[in-house]
Amino acid sequence: MNPLDSIILSALNYFAKRYDLLDFFIVLIAETDLLKGGFVLAVFWAVWFQKDTNQQQNWVRLVSVLLGSLLTLLCSRVLALVLPFRERPLRSATIGGQDAALGFLGLTPGAVALGQANITVPPNLPSGDYAVIITVDGVPSNAVLISGVNDG
């Protein structure tokens, strides 16, 4: 991650889980379609009915934005229907046949041809030896044997 992204994410995450009311409103807005669309619609109508000397020019701009948005929506739907569909997730991991969360899969910085996978072991996995298989784009890897102890 580049330094600018790190600074921005750190600044945004500073407020996470600090203020319960702020968290509540962010989740409410993110999960409620009416609130997301209602805000945009309220701004649209406020500009539409604004008393101004350039009211007709404002109307032309708003209609242009609306038509551009509809054209973008139409293009995205056509592309979704025409382009090939890919199953998600592209990468997955199993430990002993159980699904495991794959946090990261990529090349290791500073090493040549060395990969790294951050896999969370399922909490209900008993102690023992298990095969780890990583599947990328539908192609499974060779199994790697790990030994684990569940402190339970």
Bridge-based pairing of strands 144-148 and 139-140 is unpaired
Could you report the per-residue pLDDT of 101-150, keeping only the tens digit for each? 898 888 888 888 888 899 988 888 888 899 999 998 888 999 999 887 66
Mean pLDDT of the chain, nearest integer = 86
Q: Using CA atoms, how far apart are residues 54 and 48, in angstroms rounded to an integer?
A: 11
* Structure tokens belonging to residue 11: 């600044």
Which pLDDT does position 14 carry in this prediction?
82
Q: Using CA atoms, how far apart are residues 42 and 44, in angstroms rounded to an integer?
A: 5
The helix or strand, by DSSP H or E, that contains position 99, with its residue range, turns out to be strand 98-107
Residue extents of the structural domains in the chain: 3-82, 91-148
Residue pair 130/96 in contact by the 8 Å Cβ criterion? yes
Cα 80 to its chain centre, rounded Å, is 18
Q: How many CB atoms lie within 10 A of CB 134?
A: 20
Which pLDDT does position 88 carry in this prediction?
66
The helix or strand, by DSSP H or E, that contains position 140, with its residue range, turns out to be strand 139-140
Which pLDDT does position 94 carry in this prediction?
92
Read off the pTM.
0.45
